[in-house]
Amino acid sequence: MCSIAVAMAGFGCGPVTYVSDVTRRATDAVEAARAAQAKADADRKAQEQAAREAQARADAERKAQQEKAAREAQAQADAERRAQEQAAREAQARADAQRKAQEDAARRAAEEQRAAEAKLAEQQRREAEAARQREAAAAAALAEEQLARLTLQGDERVLDVGCGDGKVTAEVAARVPRGSVLGVDPSRDMIAFASSHGLKLYPSVCMSLSERTPG
């Protein structure tokens, strides 16, 4: 367009100013288009930057939420684990207390059983001793009655069969100071008792363990 304007100026036709205005307007249009393109590029870049920043904020927020959720889940899991451990400790403590209570009850029962057995044994011993004393008293009374019927000179040799604890044997020995008495009994304990008690005062008394006869 500039070349056309120059040619026309050479022939002296038309104003050159018109051509330069057209050229300027064209140039301005180009500049405006460039400016608009630049603005559009800048706006696009700004939008892209804003989108990137928004995406970054969204990513950061999502990451923060995920980390928070993970921390809360971990805290909840830790709390549940601690609660389970506490429950296990309490259950173990209850089991230990129950076991100890059972052991204490068993120990008390055993002690009560031993005490009851000891009491029963003592009662049986006393009853046996009382029965033995009654039997001994009855035997002594019977022996005294029988001895009262005997006429002894004092030098007899007497055999006391079933002498028991030796009390009657001692009575007989006292009536035969110049004689001797042989006491026999099938119970080793009775012989030992008689030999270690009152019969020591009578050297003429001899105690012997007899054999039990069948029947």
The pLDDT of residue 1 is 44
| pLDDT of 91 higher than 70 | yes
Three-state secondary-structure class, residue 179: coil
Q: Is residue 130 part of a domain?
A: no
Average pLDDT over residues 30-44: 90
CA 112 – CA 92 distance, rounded (Å) = 29
Q: Is residue 5 part of a domain?
A: no
pLDDT in tens, 93-116: 999 999 999 999 999 999 999 999
Q: Is residue 131 part of a domain?
A: no
CATH code: domain of residue 199: 3.40.50.150
Tokens 């001797």 correspond to 180
Q: Is residue 10 part of a domain?
A: no
Residue 181: strand pairing partners: 158, 205
Q: Is residue 46 part of a domain?
A: no
Q: Is residue 22 part of a domain?
A: no
| Token pair listed for 206 | 């001899």
The pLDDT of residue 45 is 92
Number of domains within the chain: 1
| pLDDT of 198 higher than 90 | no
The residue type at 1: M
Q: Is residue 204 part of a domain?
A: yes
| pLDDT of 16 higher than 60 | no
The pLDDT of residue 201 is 60
Between 105 and 190, the more confident residue is 105
Give the CB-side neighbour count of residue 16, counting CA atoms within 13 A. 9
The pLDDT of residue 3 is 44
The pLDDT of residue 4 is 44
**Lowest-pLDDT range of 2-11, 126-135, 185-194, 199-208:** 2-11
Tokens 């042989």 correspond to 182
| Token pair listed for 56 | 């970054």
Q: Is residue 186 part of a domain?
A: yes
CA 66 – CA 81 distance, rounded (Å) = 22
Helix axes 2-10, 16-149, angle to 10 degrees: 170
pLDDT in tens, 122-154: 999 999 989 878 887 887 788 788 888 888 888
Q: Domain range for residue 198?
A: 153-215
Average pLDDT over residues 75-94: 95
Three-state secondary-structure class, residue 138: helix
Positive or negative CA dihedral for 190, 196, 198, 199? Answer: positive
Helices H / strands E in the chain, number of each: 4, 3
The pLDDT of residue 141 is 84
